[in-house]
Structure 1
Amino acid sequence: MACTIQAMYANRHEEEKMRETYYLIGLTDCMINQVNPILRTDLLRAMYKKVFAMKEALNIHWHGTLDQVLFPIDYQFYDDLAYRSSIRRARTMKELYQAIKRGTDEMFDILSLEYVFYCPWIGG
């Protein structure tokens, strides 16, 4: 999760880049933590290409384990089960990308309104 915080912090002055970064993080989470039959086909290659292109464009590099990349948001603010369900129900790559984009945009809005991140080791 530290890499997620660093990636978000690096773009802290540009909201659109932060949103794109969180979308990239959502795509990464989908590949490693979510279940959808599409991800068991060769269509997964397209998602990998998209993720690597976005990582390059946003200059993001993850190190270490990637088991938890999305921020945990309290259930009173966000329904994580509904998000995971929307990913499972997607029948095409377009629907899958849309579900991830909708979910990460909503998560980003909640994070920006309800959360504060203290990062004493960054930028000091």
Structure 2
Amino acid sequence: MNLALWIAAGLLAAIALTGGVTKTFVPRAKLAAAPGGEWTGRVGAQYIKALGIVEILAAIGLILPAVLDVAPVLVPITAACWVVLMIGAMITHLRDGGWKFVLVNLVYLAIAVFVAWGRFGPHAF
């Protein structure tokens, strides 16, 4: 189970890092033109960049505390925060009628719930 939790956290960290780097460094117009990125045309560029930075920090928080054994409780806390972020993402995509992206966010949410449950509960560090 420990290995499954590490894989799940690593996968979630890769997803968060990819999304974070994209939102932080790709221009807003290009994001808005991409499938699922319609919402970026309705918000400010600084909001998108801030969200990207939050996602990059989430990627760090899902792995680094456990690897360094410094405050490893931050891993399940980060996973729980990712759940909240995915709920917001699902609401945003629902407004645009992007059911495909809602389902993708639901999968990410499920992975985060698994990591939070496992690391808060039976397989804590």
The structure carrying a bigger helix percent of its residues is 2
TM-score of the superposed pair, with normalisation by structure 1: 0.32
Higher RCO structure, 1 or 2 (CA under 8 Å, sep 6+): 1
Please give the TM-score of this superposition, normalised by the length of structure 2: 0.32
